[in-house]
Structure 1
Amino acid sequence: MFLTISSLLFFPGCTVSQMVIRGVVGQAVTLPCTYDVKNSRELHPVCWGRGSCPNSKCSNEILHTNGRQVTSQSSFRYNLRGTVVRGDVSLTIRNLNERDRGLYCCRIEIPGWFNDLKKTLNLQVDRGEWDLCDASFSLS
Structure 2
Amino acid sequence: MEGFRMRALSAMVIFSAAAFVSGCAATIDQSGLEQRTVQAIGRPVGQFSIAERSEETGGRINYTVHTPEGASYRCYLYGATGFQKAMTFGQTPHSDAICTAMAGAQSRGTPAPAAAASRARGGEACNALLKAAGRC
TM-score above 0.5, yes or no: no
**Structure with bigger gyration radius:** 2
- The structure that is helix-richer by fraction is 2
Normalising by the residue count of structure 2, what TM-score does the alignment of the two structures yield?
0.29
- The structure that is strand-richer by fraction is 1
